[in-house]
Amino acid sequence: MSAPPDLPEIVSRAFDVSRRSGYVSFCRNETGRLLATLAATRGGTLAEFGTGAGVGTAWLRSGVRDGARIISAELDQLLAGAAADIFVDDPQVEVLAADWSNLADHAPFSLLFIDSGIPSEVTVDKIADLVEPGGIVVLDDFVPCEMWPPISGGRVDTLREEWLTDERFTAVELMIAPDASVVVATRR
């Protein structure tokens, strides 16, 4: 698989790294374009939990303002190394081969991108204080749901429900494709 030609150059490079790494679980282009758009509105420090091979990080980088910084953490050492190579000459991006909790030392974040497949210990309570007031959290990889409470796989999707109802955030679920949605939450 290679990246479509209409992608930002940094995103195309990340797709190539992902392909060479054999990593097929990455940020969708629809989510990526949303990330680039939101990154363009942010200053300060942006972060990502779960870098993978760097596609989501590349989308953030394609939109980030001058002077803003992106820090991303990936637990898998090989993937983190592959992603770090994409940004080796970029002073605005740092990829850590580390658990998500290591990013707390770099908070608060103006934008935080999290894969919805996060470990169960990563709750809204643990994330809320990492995001500055007015900061945005984007959680991806949801299947659109038209009912309440949200159901996924025959069960209540407690992660989505938690984010959409937490009083510290104003949140919305956005359908980015017929088969995919994200939750975007802004810290009050």
Is 163 contained in some domain? Answer: yes
Angle in degrees, 0-180, between the axes of helices 77-86 and 9-21, rounded to the nearest 10: 150
Asked if the structure places residue 2 within a domain, the reply is no
pTM of the model: 0.92
pLDDT at 5: 53
Q: What is the pLDDT of residue 23?
A: 78
pLDDT in tens, 129-188: 999 999 999 999 899 988 899 988 889 988 899 999 999 999 999 999 999 999 999 999
Question: What CATH number has the domain bearing residue 101?
Answer: 3.40.50.150
**Distance of alpha carbon 23 from alpha carbon 141, whole angstroms:** 16
Any domain includes 3:
no
Domain-embedded: residue 4? no
The pLDDT of residue 46 is 98
The SS3 assignment for 65 reads coil
- What is the tally of structural domains in the chain? 1
Residue 70, in any domain of the structure: yes
The residues near 115 (Cβ < 8 Å, ≥ 6 apart) are 49, 50, 56, 139, 140, 141
Q: What are the contacts of 4-13 at 24+ separation with CB within 8 A?
A: 4/29, 8/36, 8/58, 8/59, 8/62, 10/58, 10/61, 10/62, 10/86, 11/55, 11/58, 11/59, 11/62, 13/58, 13/86
Is residue 16, in this structure, part of any structural domain at all?
Answer: yes
pLDDT score of 27 = 84
Task: Please check whether residue 127 lies inside any domain of the structure.
Answer: yes
What pLDDT shows up at residue 1?
Answer: 46
1 within some domain: no
Q: Buried b vs exposed e over 66-101: b needs ≥16 C-beta within 10 Å?
A: eebbbbbbbbbeebbebbbebbeeeebbbbbbbebe
| Domain hosting residue 83, numbered range | 9-187
What is the predicted pLDDT for the residue at 117? Answer: 65
Residue pLDDT, tens place only, 73-126: 999 999 999 999 999 999 999 999 998 889 999 999 999 999 756 667 778 998
